[in-house]
Chain A
Amino acid sequence: MSVLVYTESEKGKFKKNAFEVASYAKAIADTTGTEVTAVAFHAEDAETLGNYGVSRVLLVKEDALDTFNARAYASVLAEAARQESASVIVVSSSTDAKYMAGILAGDLEAGYATNVVAGPESVSPLVVKRTAFSNKGFMFTELKSERNIIGVSSNAFGTHESKVDCSVETFSPNLGDDQFGTKSVEIDKVVGKATIADADVVVSGGRGLKGPENWGMIEELADVLGAATACSKPVSDLGWRPHGEHVGQTGKPVASNLYIAIGISGAIQHLAGVSASKVKVVINTDPEAPFFKAADYGVVGDAFEVVPKLTEKLKEFKAQNA
């Protein structure tokens, strides 16, 4: 028996969430006296997972699985789960992982809890704490299938080093053509830039910025902080920014360490989607803007003056603290 974990990589390198889910799996394995087995696809340094408590890596090297395919990846995970008699499977909350894990849960008729924000409340029975109502509440869910899937929120449990001996073996899954009913024909992705899903810092702009031509200063601030850029819903509805940047209850969720909201009023639908961020800074001309009530730090001021100044000062700060 073991705890299975799906460790995601990109161009052969593990993503940060791979170490987070490995750490989570290790915490469960420690309480149940079992070990962690990871499934990785085309990862180069598979044994580095040993630093986060993974004892074995099942490494998939099939050419057909070179790019992510939710259906096929789910089959691989299902096969590994059966082979390893895994009763718990841990995955991240990335867009790909959520896509894959829903299918996996259907394959295994598994209980599945998403957006889990803390280590298990109890392991037997298996109870986890997750966010619900778009961060307006938490709920404690008992998972009670033969195999259960835990989807861990990004940035919630963190990475915990726990060095163990790690062996890597090639895993050759049984795959048929029926696994490839969807074909990826084109990927349009910004490279080398932090994404809202995994950035430590997110800089977000609202309608207060007046127009798309003013996003240069948002991008400059984001650059200094190595941050992803985001926006409120009307900004993407107006076409000032791409839909993929819209955050909030009906957009992308944000769970960064730092969220900087500029010219955003703080409507309930916006707050619902960003309140999982640990620290929130609000810059707004209106001292009565509702966002200040949900913020940790607030600056009342005109974004067009405050943001460039803040960017300059951060540059100096970064230069001194490099």
Chain B
Amino acid sequence: MKILVCISSVPDTTSKINFTADNTQFDTTGVQFVINPNDEFGLTRAMWFKEKQGAVVHVATVGDQSVEPTMRKALAIGADEGIRVDATPTDGLFVASQLAEIVKNGGYDLVIAGRESIDYNGGMVPGMMAAMLKMNFVNTCISLEVEGNKATALREIDGGKEKIETSLPLIIGGQKGLVEESDLRIPNMRGIMMARQKKLNVIPAADAKQGSHEIKFERPAPKGEVKMIDAENLDDLIDLLHNEAKVI
């Protein structure tokens, strides 16, 4: 089985988010970039397929040179080879087109992407790829087993889960649950050394449409003061929630 894991490089979850140049750009000063958490769960599941079922695992990203450390980390965790499309990921449609091109040319059986990237929270790239490639697709995937050509997946739905039977070639939008939190791997010294020898191919972007673009950013309005209520006077809380906040 040949697996492609799509990796987006995103600000670490603890990052403070600021904007520059009249709020038209995201300020990356001091921001640490990491593998998108949803992709990290997917990559870890891919490592399981590699170790238990002999799968070959490639990782791919669309981004400029600044994302290379994130890709090296993915290789250090154990992916066999990396591909970077040398382009700014302008919007979902553009990114999905680039990744679809890689999948077409690489003959992958399983494409693991994340439910969403935690920076722009688009949640659209894997679905778009599935449509472009006419591949089966399971989103919000929380468990995946593959036997030969058959795949069984669990997907999270609002208020529960759904079991899905499908077949390869398949794309999933993965998230926590795909593997347990405790299964996530921190690259060790050996992995880091080996990653240096691994191929990270840089390829130019294919011609592709773009469906949207960002005009500007805005910071959330500052929050008002919290009103503290004495634990002995919970009637006050109920009164405030009913008469002031009007939520009960």
Contacts and interface: CB of A to CB of B under 8 A. Distances in A.
A107 B131 contact: yes
Interface stretch (A90-98, A159-167, A207-215): A90-98
B209 interface: yes
Contact of B231 (A95, A98, A129, A301): A301
B183 to A, nearest CB: 11
A313 interface: yes
Contact of B160 (A103, A127, A244, A281): A244
A132 B130 CA distance: 24
A309 B229 CA distance: 14
A297 B213 contact: no
Interface stretch (B68-76, B78-86, B219-227): B219-227
B129 A106 contact: yes
A76 to B, nearest CB: 14
B218 A105 contact: no
B217 A138 contact: yes
Interface string B75-98: 000000000000000011100100
B interface: dominant SS: mixed
A119 interface: no
B136 A112 contact: no
Interface string B124-144: 111111111010111110100
A114 B122 contact: yes
A306 B173 CA distance: 40
A187 B237 contact: no
Interface in A111-150: 111-115, 127, 129, 131-145, 148
A185 B164 contact: yes
A309 B234 contact: yes
A129 B161 CA distance: 31
Contacts of A196: 158-159
Contacts of A249: 13, 37, 118
A46 B226 CA distance: 44
A185 B119 contact: no
Contact of A278 (B119, B162, B247): B247
Contacts of B213: 141-142, 144
> For this complex, into which size category does the number of interface residues on chain B fall?
35 or more
A140 B218 contact: yes
Nearest to B140: A95
Nearest to A238: B181
Contact of B212 (A103, A111, A134, A272): A111
A250 B231 contact: no
Contacts of B136: 71, 181-182
Contact of A102 (B124, B214, B228, B229): B124
B128 A139 contact: no
A92 B132 CA distance: 23
Interface in A184-204: 184-190, 193, 195-198, 200-201
Nearest to B41: A250
B156 A142 contact: no
Contact of B137 (A182, A193, A246, A313): A182
A137 B217 contact: yes
Interface string B204-215: 000001111111
Nearest to B125: A102
B215 A182 contact: no
Contact of B218 (A94, A139, A198, A281): A139
A135 B132 CA distance: 30
A258 B240 CA distance: 12
Given A101-B124, A279-B241, A112 B92 contact: yes
A252 to B, nearest CB: 8
Contact of B216 (A133, A135, A140, A317): A140
Contact of B245 (A137, A138, A185, A258): A258
Interface string B231-248: 100110110111001011
Q: Which of B13, B37, B234 has the most CB of A within 10 A?
A: B234
Contact of A250 (B13, B124, B156): B13
Given A99-B140, A132-B119, A294 B215 contact: no
12 contacts: A105-B92, A106-B93, A112-B212, A139-B217, A140-B217, A201-B248, A249-B118, A258-B241, A279-B245, A297-B237, A299-B228, A306-B234
